[in-house]
A and B are shown apart, each in its own frame.
Chain A
């Protein structure tokens, strides 16, 4: 399966712990986007990365959230000291980078904070 792979599918953390969400883009794609979906809402853009570069992080909360896309390996969205309000579905998408090319989405990671 050459689609976008996200893991884990479900992640449970207690308040104050760290959450790490992983995303392997579709084969041949070097552009990754992270979106967050709160219950009953649409997806909200968080960050756009290319290999080893953060291009646009205008949707990322100023504190506790970070993202990376190293030269080797998956993209990682990291949430430190999680709080209840971080509970959401986090989707990763990848593309070829051209705006006319659709983004292909992973199945998402559902993060639950106890």
Chain B
């Protein structure tokens, strides 16, 4: 099983609808992230959370909101989806313990393909 699980993996939704992408992790990491990938634009950070009470906007947060329900869960919502939010969305996690072997490495989920029509 994947350490970082995203649901749904694929979704087609209509303009104006609310959609939530969920992410859960079993890695025990304190930090979680949402990125979006667009052709030609690479990956861009939407929101990140360093712990349950610490949520920060990334470079493209407009039109999105997040919720960190628990250390292991971080969901991304599009309150009113629009076509230019069609993209591949990635949840990611990292361990803030710099001294650990995996410290500060960002691990990605399998991605969620979202199409807004």
Chain B associates with chain A = no
* A positions within 8 Å CB-CB of B: none
* B positions within 8 Å CB-CB of A: none
